[in-house]
Amino acid sequence: MSSRAVAFVTGAGRGIGRGIALALARDRFNIVGNDLAYEANDQTTGLAEVEDRVRELGADFAPAPGDIARLEEHEGLLQTALRRFGRVDVLVNNAGVAPLSRCDVLETTPESFDRVLAVNARGAFFLTQRFARHMIGQARGPVAPAIVFISSVSAEVSSPMRAEYCISKAALSQAATVFADRLAEGGINVYEVRPGIIATDMTVPVKAQYDARIAGGLVPQQRWGQPEDVGRAVAALARGDFGYATGLVIELSGGMNIRHL
């Protein structure tokens, strides 16, 4: 069994999850990477590519393919981590999906609503419940146990063209709060990270739209966020740099949270 801390990252195969996994690997965490699939022979994308990068950084990696929306798979995901590393010190709830299509809130479909909530909120909630039950009874490891929820500025900011996404992130934000409250007595810190406009596969279809809005002043720092920006913040939380701040919410939005005239 390795003496390194172990982080379980959902949605680790691309985008923000990939950035988080690599940042944690740089900080000497072994990584259990979850995504929908693991194609071992395709080392250019997905979990296999992330695995190679993690190993280049000197950390170990265990793929844990599975759909967090399927609650019956959660125990298997936990057992994948335990079989490989014997423990989980940090859980990062990052996996998320966008609406099936951007449309006015008056046209939101039940199919899109249910899909987004199933992954972004329901899946993350019950995965956290399952992992937390184990982490409470686990012997103390190299770092203090922690759980990080990756929500979004959309937890508070209205986007009427993707209402179900905003609702799912607001639910995830409240999940972070109630788990922080409940798990504090067990020594598990819980945090929420709210990214703003981040350059990922999910935002490619709206790049031109957000390029214009960023140029127009929507983001005071006048740039897109990168997965690495989120990764560095999660790594600081996982290391324990904010050990006396359970329930902390960190917004990474280039200043979109600033109220100004």
Angle at 97 between CA 125 and CA 66, to 5 degrees: 65
State which H helix or E strand residue 195 sits in.
strand 189-195
Name residues whose C-beta falls within 8 Å of residue 256's C-beta, 6 or more positions apart in sequence: 153, 157, 196, 197, 218, 219, 220
Distance CA 218, CA 127 (A): 34
Closest CA to 191 of 251, 143, 258: 251
State which H helix or E strand residue 150 sits in.
strand 146-150
66: left (phi over 0), alpha (psi -120 to 50) or beta: left
Catalytic residue, from 165, 191, 210, 244: name it: 165
Q: Any idea which residue has 């005071």 for tokens?
A: 220
Known catalytic residue: 191? no
CA distances from 57 to 48, 110, 153, 190 (A): 14, 43, 31, 27
Over its C-alpha atoms, the chain yields an Rg (Å, rounded) of 18
Query: Which residue numbers are catalytic?
Result: 165
